[in-house]
A and B are shown apart, each in its own frame.
Chain A
Amino acid sequence: MTQTALASTSHAGQLKEGLPGIVADWSSDQRAFKNVPWGKAMMWIFLLSDTFIFGSFLISYMTVRMSTQTPWPNPSEVFALVIGGQSIPLILIAIMTFVLISSSGTMVLAVNYGYRKDRKMTVIFLILTAMLGATFVGMQAFEWSKLIFEEGVRPWGNPMGAAQFGASFFMITGFHGTHVSIGVIFLIIVAIKVGRGDLDHQRPGFMTGRRGTYEIVETMGLYWHFVDLVWVFIFAVFYLW
């Protein structure tokens, strides 16, 4: 540990070879990302890979939508709801968008109160975020069942237009909804950890020997904001286009 990263690279003779060398190199305490906790950097790298997954989905959606000769169903009409005898375009999706943005706001407050070591407020806002997330998933379930049972949309076809609409819709929103659901579960886990004081007392988690710190709230927050971020793109290019 006394040996600095710089010294170990300049003295090539001291480096280990073979399998122990791999272990030594990967655990040599060299940091590319200063000032960020290890878990946060790893979460960012995971989110980067997730960006490519959702990017691929949205690009394949673009490709099928551009190449079909049958007109694409108008999302404004498909996702309209009749409220009080009036058909309001895209209203459910708009509400879902506001719910998710609200949850992003409560998440950021949870992170902030976490760093202040305000245990009670952190738990309150984490639970609030989880509830908004669950609301979002619930509305999505409503949207899906309406499309499947009332409008007859299937992954291989639908009565409104281009057959590729269903496949794109279920794939993209389904994957996003899965992310939200997983996020809700982890929000509840983090809320429990904060609530019973695991982070204040630096108890390690169930899968790691690392001590619990309030940084995990921010790492959780990164994931949650990413889910919101993806929805921004889905909302724009799938629902509004």
Chain B
Amino acid sequence: MAHAEGHAHTAGHSHAAPEKHHVEGQQHPLGVYFKIWGLLFVLSAASYAVDYFHVQGYLRWGLILVFMMLKAGLIVAVFMHMMWERLAMVYAILVPPLLLLVFVAIGAFEADYTFLTRGTFFGPPAQAAPAAPKHK
């Protein structure tokens, strides 16, 4: 493997001087980056196309989320070199953000409840619309 733990060495370097940090570098062939770069462009264009062509409903949200996660995954895995790091580090960094999903769920419950109480106290949305009630 050309990109195994930074052993890919550009020719012409003197091997006489031992570089202490040499093993720790992330050295990979440029081709990988160009492919991912291109892919990120395509995915961004695709998510913009979702808006441009007015895709609506679950298809819209599904596509947006899929493109979002693909882009995020590619950036973290390749551009930030996560796929070449040791698992101890990968798990330490990538598992804690999953907690955010709990917060999302809590936030959604809270929002639904607020929406419900607003409907009760300020009247149904259909009637309230022309009056544009002030929240709070």
Contact flags (1/0) for B114-130 with A, using CB distance below 8 Å? 11001100100100110
Q: For the side of the interface on A, what is the size category?
A: 35 or more
Q: A63-B107, A236-B67 are in contact. Are A35 and B41 (CB under 8 A)?
A: no
The residue of chain A having its C-beta at the shortest distance from the C-beta of B76 within the complex is A229
Report yes or no: A225 in contact with B80, Cβ–Cβ below 8 A.
yes
Interface membership of A182, Cβ < 8 A: no
Dominant secondary structure at the A interface = helix
Report yes or no: B30 in contact with A213, Cβ–Cβ below 8 A.
no
Chain A to chain B: the 5 pairs with minimum beta-carbon distance, closest first: A66-B111, A67-B114, A236-B68, A105-B37, A67-B111
Total interface residues on B, CB under 8 Å, equals: 63
Report yes or no: A52 in contact with B100, Cβ–Cβ below 8 A.
yes
- Residues of B whose CB lies within 8 Å of any CB of A are 5-6, 10, 13, 21, 23-28, 30, 33-34, 37, 40-41, 44, 47-48, 50-52, 60-61, 64-65, 67-68, 71-72, 75-76, 79-81, 85-86, 88-89, 92-93, 96-97, 100, 103-104, 107-108, 110-112, 114-115, 118-119, 122, 125, 128-129, 132-133, 135
Report yes or no: B24 in contact with A225, Cβ–Cβ below 8 A.
no
Q: How far is the CA of A77 from the CA of B110 in the complex (A)?
A: 29
Chain A positions 130-189 with a Cβ under 8 Å from a chain B Cβ: 163
Interface membership of A108, Cβ < 8 A: yes
Q: A70-B132, A163-B135, A232-B71 are in contact. Are A101 and B125 (CB under 8 A)?
A: no
Contact flags (1/0) for A213-235 with B, using CB distance below 8 Å? 11100100110011011001101
Q: How far is the CA of A237 from the CA of B47 in the complex (A)?
A: 11
Report yes or no: B51 in contact with A90, Cβ–Cβ below 8 A.
yes
Report yes or no: A108 in contact with B107, Cβ–Cβ below 8 A.
no
Q: A111-B26, A215-B21, A236-B67 are in contact. Are A55 and B103 (CB under 8 A)?
A: yes
Interfacial chain B residues near A218, Cβ < 8 Å: 25-26, 81
Interface membership of A48, Cβ < 8 A: yes
Stretch in A13-21, A36-44, A190-198 with 4+ CB within 8 Å of B: A36-44
Given A225-B75, A236-B67; 9 other pairs, CB 8 A cutoff: A36-B86, A48-B96, A60-B107, A62-B107, A63-B114, A105-B40, A225-B79, A229-B80, A240-B50
